[in-house]
């Protein structure tokens, strides 16, 4: 899919100027905008999709990945303010959920809804410290979660290039935890029934991070349940905003 529009921090894969809603998606650790490339067709013509482009991946591969959440959240929020028209919502999977939460805090009333997926609530301890593992340990940890495609395991040189970004992203995740910050925006949280990294109870704890409404949607699957049936998630995103 051709990338159109956007700045260094954002890309709009399929512009829809007349859309009733804009959704900004933030990817999981190690992931990039291509994780959401199928979403415009799933969300329908009334939703315009924007994807966050973080340093260290895809078209910003040559840039070092960041480990300080503020160095991600501040410029990403500024880009959303400058380029994405309201009404808008944010969606983030795993690490992306934590970043989307930070961006929502920075946007204030410019954001109308926050969707977090497979992300342990920030008020809870992060738990494992996978970013402190060596390369072999980190790769084994990600493989257990189902986050490494089998065909990628055979490409050692590519893995060596990707692991620093993954390690930096997981350090970002660790830095987010231990806060009771809240947003005055409704939160819808998605959880996989068999997620070893963020249990249903861990995800349900997002209810403590909003002064507005809260919804919990539980889907079958593990940490990357989203890849099995993305339409089950996109339909909820559109429906919560009254688009479909």
Contact (Cβ atoms closer than 8 angstroms) between residue 238 and residue 44: yes
Other Cβ atoms less than 10 A from the Cβ of 154: the count is: 8
Nearest-angstrom CA–CA distance, 177 and 187: 18
Choosing from 94, 191, 199, 235, the catalytic residue is: 94
99, 26 Cβ separation under 8 angstroms: yes
- Using CA atoms, how far residue 140 sits from 61, 145, 193, 241, in Å, is 23, 9, 22, 39
Q: Can 117 be counted among the known catalytic residues?
A: no
Q: Which two tokens stand for residue 41?
A: 């067709």
Residues 6+ apart with CB under 8 A from 116: 91, 92, 97, 98, 100, 101, 187, 188, 189, 190, 203, 206
Asked whether the beta carbons of 72 and 54 are under 8 A apart, the reply is yes
Catalytic (active-site) positions:
94
């Amino acid at each position: 899919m051709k990338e159109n529009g956007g700045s260094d921090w954002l890309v709009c894969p399929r512009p829809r100027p007349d859309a009733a809603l804009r959704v900004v998606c933030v990817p999981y650790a190690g992931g990039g905008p291509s994780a959401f490339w199928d979403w415009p067709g799933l969300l329908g013509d009334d939703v315009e999709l924007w994807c966050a482009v973080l340093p260290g991946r895809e078209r910003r591969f040559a840039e070092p990945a960041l480990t300080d959440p503020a160095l991600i959240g501040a410029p990403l929020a500024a880009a959303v303010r400058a380029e994405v028209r309201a009404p808008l919502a944010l969606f983030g999977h795993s690490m992306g959920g934590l970043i989307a939460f930070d961006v929502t805090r920075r946007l204030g009333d410019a954001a109308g809804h926050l969707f977090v997926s497979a992300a342990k609530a920030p008020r809870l301890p992060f738990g494992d410290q996978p970013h402190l593992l060596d390369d072999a340990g980190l790769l084994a940890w990600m493989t257990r979660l189902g986050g490494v495609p089998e065909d990628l395991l055979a490409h050692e040189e590519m893995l060596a290039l990707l692991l620093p970004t993954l390690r930096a992203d997981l350090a970002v995740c660790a830095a987010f935890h231990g806060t009771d910050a809240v947003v005055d925006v409704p939160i819808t949280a998605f959880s996989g029934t068999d997620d070893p990294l963020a249990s249903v109870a861990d995800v349900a704890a997002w209810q403590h991070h909003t002064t507005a409404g809260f919804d919990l949607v539980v889907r079958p699957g593990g940490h990357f349940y989203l890849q099995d049936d993305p339409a089950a998630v996109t339909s909820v995103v559109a429906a919560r905003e009254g688009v479909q």
